[in-house]
């Protein structure tokens, strides 16, 4: 029984040492994971700023390349009216000849 008390003292010490080892491994893994997430987030920040820049450029170019439906209809009506006048002029010339 004299040696048993040493075993009872050794086992909690072993459990405490094992717990410290597990906690330190988990802490290292958690830190590595957090560093990886932070590096990915920094990359996303660059992507987001590039995306914002692209959207602003597209917004600036939009009035140059986009025609509203109403504008197109008005333009088409004007062109068709001119073509009708040209057609009428040609028909009148044919009648005279």
In a shared domain, residues 36 and 21: yes
In a shared domain, residues 85 and 95: yes
In a shared domain, residues 76 and 45: no
The number of folded domains in the chain is: 2
In a shared domain, residues 56 and 35: yes
Range of the domain at 97: 67-97
In a shared domain, residues 39 and 49: yes
CA contacts within 13 A on the Cβ side of 53: 6
Q: Name the DSSP class of 3.
A: T
> Which of 7, 76, 43, 68 shows the shortest CA–CA distance to 51?
43
3-state helix, strand, coil in the chain (%, to 5): 95, 0, 5
The CA distance from 30 to 38, in Å, is 12
Taking only the tens of pLDDT, the chain with its 97 residues reads 556 777 778 888 889 999 999 999 999 999 999 888 888 777 777 777 888 888 898 888 887 777 788 888 999 999 999 999 999 999 999 898 8
**Cβ of 3: how many Cβ atoms within 10 Å?**
6
pLDDT (0 to 100) of residue 50: 84
pLDDT (0 to 100) of residue 2: 57
């Amino acid at each position: 029984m004299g040696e048993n008390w040493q075993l009872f003292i050794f086992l909690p010490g072993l459990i405490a040492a094992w717990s410290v080892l597990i906690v330190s491994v988990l802490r290292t893994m958690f830190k590595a994971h957090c560093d990886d997430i932070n590096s990915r987030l920094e990359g996303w920040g660059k992507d987001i700023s590039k995306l914002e820049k692209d959207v602003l450029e597209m917004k600036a170019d939009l009035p140059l390349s986009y025609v509203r439906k109403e504008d197109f209809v008005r333009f088409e009506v004007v062109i068709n009216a001119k073509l009708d006048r040209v057609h009428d002029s040609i028909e009148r010339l044919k009648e005279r000849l």
